[in-house]
Homo-oligomer: A and B are copies of this chain.
Amino acid sequence: MMARRRSATLEGDTRAIDDAASARLRAAGQRYTSQRRALVALLAGAGSPLPVPAILAAGGGLTQSSAYRNLAVLEQAGVVRRVVTDEGFARYEPGEDLMGHHHHLVCSKCGRVEDVALSADVESQLDRSLDRLARGAGFASVSHRLDLIGICRDCG
């Protein structure tokens, strides 16, 4: 079955994500330590962006300060992405090009966050519209962040 949609990204492939992370950190002059490896594996397997407390609770045995420091390094290397919601704290997920471009369904009651993808044609039409809009406003090299806010099945 080759029905899985083709993609230029590494999607759920943990091994490939690990390799990419290694290469990018090396390129950035950073070491790929076991803590960082564990962080990347945890985020890659999570299916939704994780807040720092959840990362600490996952048992990797890392300190709060190391978590923040390593996440910052991984973010700068383009391996992870910092996701903000209106919860008052940040969440982290693998970078766009590792996970594939996607959006978030956010429950406004419980804060639950789920990954979702837009269909390719809607996404590309949106991209074109946003590009035009941004150019008109003098903004360059535009990406976008689209979140859906609603009530999840458990809270509804």
Interface residues, chain A, with chain B CB atoms under 8 Å away: 82, 84-86, 90, 105, 107, 114, 116, 118-119, 122, 125-126, 129-130, 133-134, 137-153, 156
Complex contacts, A85 vs chain B, CB 8 Å: 84
A100 to chain B, nearest CB (A): 15
Residues A149 and B153 in contact, CB atoms below 8 Å apart: no
Q: Compute how far the CA of A130 lies from the CA of B126 in the bound complex, rounded to whole angstroms.
A: 12
Residues B139 and A150 in contact, CB atoms below 8 Å apart: yes
A43 to chain B, nearest CB (A): 17
Residues B137 and A142 in contact, CB atoms below 8 Å apart: no
Q: Determine which of B116, B139, B147 lies in contact with A151 in the assembled complex, contact meaning CB atoms within 8 Å.
A: B139
A146 to chain B, nearest CB (A): 5
Q: Compute how far the CA of A107 lies from the CA of B143 in the bound complex, rounded to whole angstroms.
A: 11
Residues A122 and B118 in contact, CB atoms below 8 Å apart: no
A61 to chain B, nearest CB (A): 27
Known contacts A129-B122, A133-B116; is-contact A150 B146 (Cβ 8 Å) = no
Looking across the interface, which residue of chain B has its beta carbon closest to that of A87? B84
Complex contacts, A122 vs chain B, CB 8 Å: 125-126, 129
Residues B138 and A149 in contact, CB atoms below 8 Å apart: no
A5 to chain B, nearest CB (A): 15
Q: Determine which of B84, B118, B139 lies in contact with A86 in the assembled complex, contact meaning CB atoms within 8 Å.
A: B84
Which 6 interchain pairs have the tightest Cβ spacing? A138-B153, A142-B150, A139-B150, A122-B129, A146-B146, A145-B147
Residues B133 and A148 in contact, CB atoms below 8 Å apart: yes
